[in-house]
């Protein structure tokens, strides 16, 4: 056999991306719908190919590619996030004044980059994937070329992103110099050896922390979310997290348990998690712009996920990611569904009374917000609960207490949105168009996902535990 | 057939229908749906309770697993109900009192435009409360626990046009969340120590010695933190008085009869854990006794009829915790039941007064209402006699059960506090009665012309509750009056072992009954002296020690202290984060967009504002901190 099966899912997405870009460049310019359909088909094909490898841990390119169950699960999350984003962008791209075919091509490419990150045990390949994602992400952020905020966000993202990339390369160089390997296992093995290894790892973490929007590497996130098209912001809130946290947990899992807590990295990550929880939630408290609010919310969720990483509990991390896919993207779907042609409604005041005007959208959005706030019996509650109980088991009690307390603060800002929707009279002059069937579909799927994972998590948890066992 | 698991179904279904279709349904249909669903739940409760009584003692109470929820290795939680005597008592109160209040609401809220929204929330509340009391494990209980909090919030803020109402709702919610954080941590501790969240597993671990005393104490105290939030005990009592901004039937159902008693229920449910810990039980008793007196003193000087009742509720909840804390869990539940009757009666009667007086709340502008609202007056008087502990009315028996248990257990100080609270209770309640219903009319003429007795949908529930408030004490007659008369305690015995309830001897029992009666009489007499005989006396007292009067009026300034110590720093921190990390960016963007339209120009502008540099700086800072960390 010439090509290993492990490459197929990635290859389909990557070549699909190029095909979509070419079709857009040379095809008819007036309708982008065929591109959306094609993108969905490509994502579905990739998911099917990845799913067929479940439980078999395929390898490729001399071990550079590692398609274990965790990688497959995270790839599924990325692919599903991309599919949701395609659906959310559907209507947005049908309007001629806003249509950009690059949307689909770049999105697929970004997904491919994240899949590369997830499907390897080699840090250089991780970096490669990260850059593939980043370059596409800069383009996606600045898609609205005529919009000042979008261009500004793209430039900011690009500059800080390059900065982060440089840090990461520097870290990789140090680590490679130490043990002449980019393999995660070898790298992790040298972590206890001394200062240079710690330094290299620190730089590497700074680079990863940027993509995961962990404090203090988070500042780009609100600006970028605000400037980027709403569907893309939704994609950014989950997909890079899935891939990045998998890489991080692979690194952590490869360090022997007794060494791990003695490393200076551990208290550093501990502090980062605490700062992320505090800053993310406090800053969100003041937001009136829902995109910025969701940006800070996603930062705070990253803080919670980091607790799972520190606890070394892959299962609760993966479950959290799966739940966040539905509730996070679902919330962005609600924003998309309530926007009008040529204008996005993202201010809190725009949502006044929306719960009465659009009872279904309002009700689903409410459930999603409650899930984000961690209310039982939604998936958001269960995800938090599993992470916290893993944290307690791993002896991270102060961090868990902080997590519980900050999630208490979080309720205040999620609730404000619900209050605006149900406890205020509709704002005059806001003409929201809620006729967006593909976005409504995503919204509905978000609801189903959140309830399914909250009420009937047994089957999915079974798969997730299997995946977590394969992290290392 | 065991139908207990069907109890929550009807209210849940009705809530769902009302949420989705409520606005397009006719009022008539909404009424029938809302009240009918609770009536169905009540019938199921009654049937199940009777069945339980028939089979008393013969079976352990198995948890009925409706749905296997989470099974992840060592961690397991199911959606499962357990219908035992304790749950039976609770569901009867929730659906029974709930039904009466639903019916009352159809009259009270008849002219509201949010009629369907109101009943949707009320049904959802009933559903969540039933989940809370039927749950067989902590995780599911927490689902109900959060659910009732959410509905309470929605209903307090029902008149959201009123800023005070919206604010009160938010306050209730946030204060409750503080308690909930403790509750959740308590669950995590138990889960960690016992390996299961099932109540039965916790009980087994306690009786089998599988849990260390210190761990048990920690878990019990954390859980109690949740109870202080939900049941408005010190230090988390501040939300309940403000919660009176909600519609009065809501105050009756949620903030008197059911939700606020969830904490008491939880402690009684976990009686084995609290008894084992000892320390935790002591804390529960002390907090309860202190709250009972503390809140009663505040109620002495308030002038808002609903606020008086709110502080009274806090105080009475304190009694329930006092009962549980001294080991008389059955007495705590007994008081919970009688309180549900007489306090919801008082609230509904107060609502009837407000209804008649076009929304007047200030008792200084009432007076002489007994002639104009005879029915309401009778109901309110019965409620007052019950809460003040006048013999033969329900509150007398339940309060006596708690006080005699405290005395018999050797907690003389707690007993004395309870007795003091009883004097205060009788005083402030009769003050309310004398000021509002007796004496000269102080209502304004235009209000006076429109005074009318309430419609029958409101008075019939008042009548039924009056009967219950007067007679309910007979389910818990003290042992000295009849060997087998204590029905409730014997009914609860399988869940709350009688051994844990200390008994006083026959002679001291009589002594206790006498002291309790004199306490009530003393309070009543003082109120009569102050507000009937010499009406100038209260003003002279207030002038005599103005400082004390002012402190009481301000509820000891707890709100102000929290504002200064907790709220302002938090808001400040958020403000700081906002300014440091956010505001500058918006300014930068706005300035940028305004100053230059061309991309390059704007890029330069935003570079000049230094924002990107700031980001990079933040990035660098983080890494530097890390470097410093490992170098030092």
Q: Mapped to the 3 state alphabet, what secondary structure does B298-321 carry?
A: HHCCCCEHHHHHHHHHHHHHHHHH
Average pLDDT over residues B191-210: 84
B533 class by beta-carbon count within 10 Å (0-12 exposed, 13-18 middle, 19+ buried):
exposed
DSSP SS3 for B13:
helix
Task: Say how far apart CA B574 and CA A413 lie, in whole Å.
Answer: 12
Task: Say how far apart CA B600 and CA B606 lie, in whole Å.
Answer: 10
Residue A29 pLDDT: 62
Mean pLDDT of chain A: 85
- Nearest beta carbon to residue A282 from set B73, B574, B618: B574
For B432-485, how does the pLDDT look when each residue is reduced to its tens digit (9 = 90+)? 888 888 877 777 777 777 777 778 888 888 889 898 888 888 887 776 666 666
For A258-277, how does the pLDDT look when each residue is reduced to its tens digit (9 = 90+)? 777 888 888 888 989 998 99
Residue A341 pLDDT: 61
Task: Say how far apart CA A101 and CA A21 lie, in whole Å.
Answer: 7
Q: How many CB atoms lie within 10 A of CB B103?
A: 22
Average pLDDT over residues B353-368: 81
Minimal C-alpha gap between B255 and chain A (Å) = 21
Degrees to nearest 5, angle at CA A234 with A229 and A235? 100
Task: Say how far apart CA B319 and CA B317 lie, in whole Å.
Answer: 5
Contact assignment for B622 to A457 by CB distance below 8 Å: no
Contact assignment for A389 to B75 by CB distance below 8 Å: yes
In the structure encoding, which two tokens stand for residue B506, read together? 């026959």
Residue B631 pLDDT: 62
Residues 6+ apart with CB under 8 A from B354: B248, B305, B360, B361
Which of B253, B227, B242, B232 has its CA nearest to residue B343?
B253
Q: How many CB atoms lie within 10 A of CB A349?
A: 11
- Nearest beta carbon to residue A283 from set B23, B189, B582: B582
pLDDT above 90 for B530 = no
DSSP A179-234: HS--BHHHHHHGGGG-HHHHHHHHHHHHHHHHHHT-TTS-THHHHHHHHS-HHHHH
Residues 6+ apart with CB under 8 A from B340: B93, B97, B256, B257, B258, B261
For A182-231, how does the pLDDT look when each residue is reduced to its tens digit (9 = 90+)? 888 888 877 777 778 888 888 888 888 888 888 878 888 888 888 888 88
Query: CA of A423: which chain B residue's CA is closest?
Result: B160
Residues of B in contact with A167 (CB under 8 A): 619, 623
Question: Which one has a higher pLDDT value, B39 or B66?
Answer: B39
Question: Which one has a higher pLDDT value, B234 or B580?
Answer: B234
**Residue B294: is the preceding peptide bond cis (ω within 30°)?**
no
Question: Which one has a higher pLDDT value, B385 or A149?
Answer: B385
Contact assignment for A206 to B19 by CB distance below 8 Å: no
For B362-396, how does the pLDDT look when each residue is reduced to its tens digit (9 = 90+)? 888 887 788 888 888 899 999 999 998 888 888 88
Question: pLDDT above 90 covers what percent of chain A?
Answer: 29
Contact assignment for B192 to A156 by CB distance below 8 Å: no
- Nearest beta carbon to residue B157 from set A198, A282, A423: A423
Contact assignment for B581 to A279 by CB distance below 8 Å: yes
Minimal C-alpha gap between A7 and chain B (Å) = 32
Note which residues in 97-126 of chain A have CB less than 8 A from chain B.
none
Average pLDDT over residues B581-602: 42
pLDDT above 80 for B612 = no
Residue B508 pLDDT: 79
Residues of A in contact with B612 (CB under 8 A): 155-156, 159-160
With contact defined as beta carbons under 8 Å apart, do B91 and B127 qualify? no
Q: Tell the residue number behind the tokens 């609205």, with chain if given.
A: A144
Query: Does the CB of A427 have a partner CB in chain B at under 8 Å?
Result: no
Residue B591 pLDDT: 39
Give the DSSP H or E segment for A65: strand A65-67
CA distances (Å), B63 to each of A72, A159, B12, B49, B55, in order? 39, 59, 21, 16, 16
ipTM: 0.73
Average pLDDT over residues A92-113: 78
DSSP SS3 for B79:
strand
Contact assignment for A419 to B618 by CB distance below 8 Å: no
Task: Say how far apart CA B135 and CA B403 lie, in whole Å.
Answer: 30
Confidence of residue B73 (pLDDT cuts 50, 70, 90): low
With contact defined as beta carbons under 8 Å apart, do B231 and B71 qualify? no
Lowest mean pLDDT among A132-141, A228-237, B615-624: B615-624
Contact assignment for A216 to B622 by CB distance below 8 Å: yes
Lowest mean pLDDT among A75-89, A99-113, A191-205, B111-125: A191-205
Task: Say how far apart CA B236 and CA B260 lie, in whole Å.
Answer: 12
First-last CA distance in chain B: 71
Which of B534, B528, B256, B226 has its CA nearest to residue B387?
B256
Contact assignment for A202 to B626 by CB distance below 8 Å: yes
Give me the helices (H) in A338-378, please.
354-357, 359-372
Mean pLDDT of chain B: 82
pLDDT above 90 for A407 = no
The CA R_g of chain B, rounded to the nearest whole Å, is: 27
Main-chain phi, psi angles of B190, to 5 degrees: -65, -40
DSSP B496-533: S-GGGS----HHHHHHHHHHHHHHHHHHHHHHHIIIII
The CA R_g of chain A, rounded to the nearest whole Å, is: 21
Confidence of residue B133 (pLDDT cuts 50, 70, 90): very high
C-alpha A335 chain-centroid distance: 17
First-last CA distance in chain A: 27
Question: pLDDT above 70 covers what percent of chain A?
Answer: 94
Lowest mean pLDDT among A137-151, B175-189, B294-308: A137-151
For B508-524, how does the pLDDT look when each residue is reduced to its tens digit (9 = 90+)? 778 888 888 888 888 88
Lowest mean pLDDT among A93-97, B325-329, B531-535, B627-631: A93-97
DSSP SS3 for B362:
strand
Which of B8, B269, B6 has its CA nearest to residue B130?
B8
Residue A246 pLDDT: 93
Residue B482 pLDDT: 61
Degrees to nearest 5, angle at CA B501 with B495 and B507? 145
Contact assignment for A220 to B71 by CB distance below 8 Å: no
Contact assignment for A216 to B177 by CB distance below 8 Å: no
pLDDT above 50 for B598 = no
Residues of B in contact with A404 (CB under 8 A): 181, 184-185
Average pLDDT over residues B20-26: 78
For A167-190, how does the pLDDT look when each residue is reduced to its tens digit (9 = 90+)? 889 888 988 888 888 888 888 877
Residue A155 pLDDT: 84
Residues of B in contact with A152 (CB under 8 A): 589, 592-593, 602-603, 606
Give the DSSP H or E segment for B146: helix B138-156
Query: CA of B143: which chain A residue's CA is closest?
Result: A376
Work out how many CB contacts closer than 8 A connect A with B. 176
pLDDT above 70 for B257 = yes
For B295-305, how does the pLDDT look when each residue is reduced to its tens digit (9 = 90+)? 999 988 888 88
Task: Say how far apart CA A163 and CA B123 lie, in whole Å.
Answer: 55
Residues of A in contact with B184 (CB under 8 A): 385, 388, 404
The domain limits of chain A are: 5-469
DSSP SS3 for B263:
helix
For A373-400, how does the pLDDT look when each residue is reduced to its tens digit (9 = 90+)? 988 888 898 899 889 988 988 888 889 9
Confidence of residue A108 (pLDDT cuts 50, 70, 90): very high
Task: Say how far apart CA B323 and CA A298 lie, in whole Å.
Answer: 46
With contact defined as beta carbons under 8 Å apart, do B251 and B105 qualify? no
- Nearest beta carbon to residue B581 from set A219, A423, A465: A219
Residue A251 pLDDT: 87
CA distances (Å), A174 to each of A64, A162, A171, in order? 20, 18, 5
Query: Does the CB of A198 have a partner CB in chain B at under 8 Å?
Result: yes
Q: Tell the residue number behind the tokens 């609860």, with chain if given.
A: B492
Residues 6+ apart with CB under 8 A from A44: A83
C-alpha B153 chain-centroid distance: 12
pLDDT above 60 for B610 = no
- B/e letters for A149-181, b = 16+ CB within 10 Å, e = fewer, are bbbbbbbbbbbbbebbbebbbbbbebbbebeeb
Which of A376, A378, A382, A386 to substitute to test the interface with B, most B CBs within 10 Å?
A376
Residue A342 pLDDT: 64
Confidence of residue A30 (pLDDT cuts 50, 70, 90): low
Ranked by mean pLDDT, the top range of A119-133, B528-542, B576-590, B610-624 is A119-133
Query: Does the CB of A199 have a partner CB in chain B at under 8 Å?
Result: yes
Residue B59 pLDDT: 60
Task: Say how far apart CA A161 and CA A134 lie, in whole Å.
Answer: 7
Question: pLDDT above 70 covers what percent of chain B?
Answer: 88
Residue A234 pLDDT: 93
Query: CA of A399: which chain B residue's CA is closest?
Result: B185
């Amino acid at each position: 056999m010439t090509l290993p099966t492990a490459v197929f899912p990635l290859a389909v997405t990557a070549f699909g991306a190029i095909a979509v870009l070419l079709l857009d460049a040379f095809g008819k310019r007036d309708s982008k719908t065929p591109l959306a359909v094609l993108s969905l088909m490509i994502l579905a094909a990739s998911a099917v190919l990845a799913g067929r490898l479940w439980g078999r841990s395929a390898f490729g390119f001399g071990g550079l590619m590692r398609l274990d169950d965790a990688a497959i699960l995270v790839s599924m999350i990325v692919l599903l996030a991309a599919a949701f984003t395609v659906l959310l962008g559907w209507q947005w791209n049908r309007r001629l004044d806003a249509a950009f075919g690059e949307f689909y091509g770049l999105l697929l490419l970004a997904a491919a980059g994240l899949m590369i990150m997830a499907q390897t045990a080699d840090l250089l390949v991780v970096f490669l994937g990260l850059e593939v994602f980043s370059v596409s992400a800069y383009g996606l952020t600045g898609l609205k070329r005529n919009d000042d905020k979008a261009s500004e966000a793209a430039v900011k993202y690009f500059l800080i992103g390059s900065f982060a990339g440089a840090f990461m390369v520097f870290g990789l160089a140090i680590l490679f110099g130490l043990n002449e390997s980019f393999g995660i296992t070898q790298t992790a093995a040298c972590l206890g050896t001394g200062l240079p290894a710690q330094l290299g790892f620190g730089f590497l973490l700074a680079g990863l922390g940027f993509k995961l929007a962990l404090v203090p590497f988070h500042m780009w996130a609100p600006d970028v979310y605000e400037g980027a098209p709403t569907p893309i912001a939704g994609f950014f809130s989950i997909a890079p997290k899935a891939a990045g946290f998998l890489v991080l947990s692979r690194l952590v899992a490869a360090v022997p348990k007794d060494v791990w807590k003695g490393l200076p990295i551990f208290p550093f990550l501990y502090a980062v998690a605490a700062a992320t929880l505090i800053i993310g939630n406090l800053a969100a408290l003041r937001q009136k712009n829902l995109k910025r609010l969701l940006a800070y919310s996603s930062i705070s969720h990253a803080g919670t996920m980091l607790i799972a990483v520190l606890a070394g509990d892959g299962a609760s991390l993966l479950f959290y990611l799966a739940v966040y896919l539905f509730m996070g993207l679902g919330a962005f779907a609600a924003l998309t569904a309530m926007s009008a042609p040529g204008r996005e409604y993202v201010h809190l005041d725009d949502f006044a009374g929306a719960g009465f005007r659009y009872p279904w959208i309002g009700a689903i959005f409410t459930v999603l917000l409650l899930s984000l706030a961690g209310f039982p019996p939604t998936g958001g509650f269960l995800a938090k609960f599993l992470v916290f109980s893993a944290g307690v088991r791993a002896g991270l009690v102060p961090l868990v207490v902080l997590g519980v307390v900050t999630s208490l603060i979080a309720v205040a800002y999620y609730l404000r949105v619900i209050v605006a929707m149900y406890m205020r009279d509709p704002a005059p002059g806001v003409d929201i168009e809620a006729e967006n069937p593909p976005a409504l579909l995503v919204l509905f799927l978000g609801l189903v996902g959140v309830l399914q994972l909250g009420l009937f998590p047994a089957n999915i948890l079974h798969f997730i535990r299997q995946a977590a066992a394969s992290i290392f | 057939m065991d139908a207990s698991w069907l109890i929550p179904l009807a209210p849940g279904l009705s809530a769902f229908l009302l949420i989705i279709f409520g606005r397009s349904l006719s009022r008539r249909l909404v009424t029938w749906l809302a009240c009918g669903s609770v009536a169905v739940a009540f019938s199921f409760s009654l049937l199940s309770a009777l069945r339980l009584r028939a089979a008393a003692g013969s079976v352990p109470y198995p948890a009925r697993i409706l749905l296997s929820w989470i099974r992840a290795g060592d961690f397991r939680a199911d959606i499962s109900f357990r219908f035992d005597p304790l749950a039976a008592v609770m569901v009867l109160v929730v659906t029974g009192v709930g039904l009466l209040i639903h019916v009352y609401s159809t009259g009270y809220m008849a002219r509201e435009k949010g009629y369907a929204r109101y009943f949707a929330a009320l049904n959802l509340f009933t559903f969540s409360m039933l989940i809370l009391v039927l749950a067989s494990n902590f995780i599911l209980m927490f689902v109900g626990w959060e659910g009732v909090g959410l509905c309470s919030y929605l209903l307090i803020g029902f008149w959201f046009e009123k800023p005070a109402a919206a604010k009160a709702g938010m306050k209730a919610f946030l204060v409750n969340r503080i308690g909930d954080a403790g509750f959740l941590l308590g669950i995590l501790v138990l889960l960690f120590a016992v390996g299961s969240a099932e109540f039965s597993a916790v009980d087994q671990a306690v009786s089998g010695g599988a849990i260390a005393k210190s761990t048990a104490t920690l878990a019990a105290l954390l859980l109690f933190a949740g109870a202080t939030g939900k049941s408005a005990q010190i230090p988390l009592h501040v939300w309940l008085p403000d919660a009176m901004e909600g519609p009065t039937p809501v105050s009756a159902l949620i903030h008197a009869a059911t939700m606020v008693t969830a904490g008491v229920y939880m402690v009684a449910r976990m009686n084995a854990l609290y008894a084992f810990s000892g320390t935790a039980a002591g804390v529960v008793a002390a907090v309860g006794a202190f709250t009972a007196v503390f809140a009663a003193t505040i109620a002495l000087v308030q002038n808002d009829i609903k606020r008086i009742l709110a502080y009274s509720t806090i105080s009475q909840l304190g009694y329930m915790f006092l009962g549980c804390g001294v080991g008389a869990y059955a007495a705590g539940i007994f008081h919970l039941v009688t309180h549900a009757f007489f306090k919801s009666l008082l609230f509904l009667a107060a609502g009837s007064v407000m209804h008649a007086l076009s929304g007047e709340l200030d008792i200084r502008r009432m007076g002489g209402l007994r002639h104009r609202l005879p029915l309401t007056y009778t109901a309110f008087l019965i409620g007052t006699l019950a809460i003040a502990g006048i013999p033969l009315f329900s509150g007398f028996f339940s309060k006596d059960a708690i006080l005699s248990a405290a005395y018999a257990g050797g907690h003389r100080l707690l007993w004395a506090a309870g007795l003091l609270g009883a004097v205060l209770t009788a005083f402030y309640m009769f003050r309310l009665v004398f000021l509002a219903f007796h004496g000269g009319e102080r209502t304004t003429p235009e209000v006076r012309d429109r005074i009318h007795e309430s419609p029958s949908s409101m008075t019939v529930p008042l009548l039924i509750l009056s009967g219950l408030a007067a007679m309910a004490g007979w389910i818990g007659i003290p042992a000295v009056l009849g060997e087998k008369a204590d029905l409730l305690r014997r009914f609860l015995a399988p869940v709350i072992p009688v051994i844990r309830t200390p008994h006083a001897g026959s002679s001291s029992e009589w002594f206790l009954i006498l002291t309790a009666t004199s306490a009530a009489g003393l309070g009543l007499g003082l109120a009569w002296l102050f507000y009937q005989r010499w009406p100038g006396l209260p003003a002279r007292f207030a002038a005599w020690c103005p400082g004390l009067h002012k402190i009481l009026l301000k509820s000891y300034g707890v709100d102000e202290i929290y504002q200064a110590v907790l709220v302002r720093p938090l808001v400040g921190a958020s403000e700081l984060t906002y300014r440091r990390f956010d505001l500058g960016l918006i300014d930068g963007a706005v300035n940028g967009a305004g100053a230059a339209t061309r991309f390059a120009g704007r890029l330069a502008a935003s570079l000049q504002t230094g924002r990107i540099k700031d980001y990079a700086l933040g990035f660098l800072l983080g890494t530097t901190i890390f470097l410093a960390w490992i170098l030092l």
